[in-house]
Amino acid sequence: MTRTEKAERIRAQLDELYPTVPIPLDHVDPFTLLCAVMLSAQTTDKKVNEVTPALFGLAQTPEEMAKVPVGTILAAIRTLGLAPTKAKNLQALSADIVRLHGGAVPVDEAALEALPGVGHKTASVVRAQAFGIPAFPVDTHIHRLAARWGLSAGKSVVHTERDLKRVFPEESWNKLHLQIIYFGREYCPARGHDLSACPICSWAASKARIRAEAGAAGRSARPAKGLGQARGKGAASGRRP
């Protein structure tokens, strides 16, 4: 089976499992989506959705957010990872949007990536989900699954993104990247996963990959020898402690 044939079968299976895919981060417009996506770095979507009501209660536009003191923003998002840096970036990107883009979130990829705290993945998510521009944002879930399914041997998310864009039709990218994320969370965890029982890994992953991950799971589940066990072994062999 070629990569393209495998990709077609995977897409059909994901369409059956997830015919509709809601955007997991709560937002009302491109600016609030941009803020939520930026806040989601090294943090779960659930955590972000818990803090954004208070944050957007302070400000819902770039003009308003740029005027909120960094300390006040930090107090609203303190429970998130990297909160101090994110608070500074939120205020700074808001000021840049007002100063450089007339208060509107830019659509251009380079312009988005030039904003404080906005990397390639965040820019791709905003372009796909706020503006409907075909993009394939690759996060850790997608990077892991693409490797398991033999769709990419990429050592980086940039390489994986390039490989996935080659095998999936452009019109499917915006929906598909969300479908893969949902599948990864529900069926295909990073650790302790039995690939042979997975709805997709069971047929898409190579036999070598299935064996390798089964072996890794077995080693991680094996209890470590404690001090008492080590001493017991020495006593049994006749050696003195």
Domain of 77? 30-131
Asked if 27 and 36 count as a contact pair (C-beta separation under 8 A), the reply is yes
Apex CA 133: angle with CA 204 and CA 93, to 5°?
Answer: 110
Asked if 134 and 124 count as a contact pair (C-beta separation under 8 A), the reply is no
Cα 139 to the center of its chain, rounded Å: 3
Q: What is the pLDDT of residue 179?
A: 97
Asked if 179 and 21 count as a contact pair (C-beta separation under 8 A), the reply is yes
CA distance 37 to 130: 11
User: Residue type for 103, please?
Assistant: G
Please count the CA atoms within 13 angstroms of the CA of 137 that sit on its side-chain side: 22
Catalytic residue among 86, 96, 121, 163: 121
Active site residue 29: no
Q: What is the pLDDT of residue 81?
A: 94
Give the chain's radius of gyration (CA, Å): 23
Q: What is the pLDDT of residue 215?
A: 81
Asked if 61 and 103 count as a contact pair (C-beta separation under 8 A), the reply is yes
Active site residue 139: yes
- Give the pair of three-digit tokens for residue 159: 């390489």
In-domain check, residue 136? no
Q: What is the pLDDT of residue 223?
A: 54
Residues in the chain: 241
In-domain check, residue 109? yes
- CA nearest neighbour of 117 among 98, 92, 145, 146: 92
CATH of the domain at 117: 1.10.340.30
pLDDT by 10s per residue, the chain, length 241? 899 999 999 999 999 999 999 999 999 999 999 999 999 999 999 999 999 999 999 999 999 999 999 999 999 999 999 999 999 999 999 999 999 999 999 999 999 999 999 999 999 999 999 999 999 999 888 999 999 999 999 889 999 999 999 999 999 999 999 999 999 999 999 999 999 999 999 999 999 999 999 987 666 555 544 434 433 434 333 333 3
Catalytic residue among 15, 26, 45, 139: 139
Look at the chain and report how many structural domains it folds into. 1
Cα 73 to the center of its chain, rounded Å: 24
In-domain check, residue 85? yes
Q: What's the DSSP call for residue 157?
A: H
In-domain check, residue 49? yes
Q: What is the pLDDT of residue 216?
A: 75
**pTM of the entire structure?**
0.86
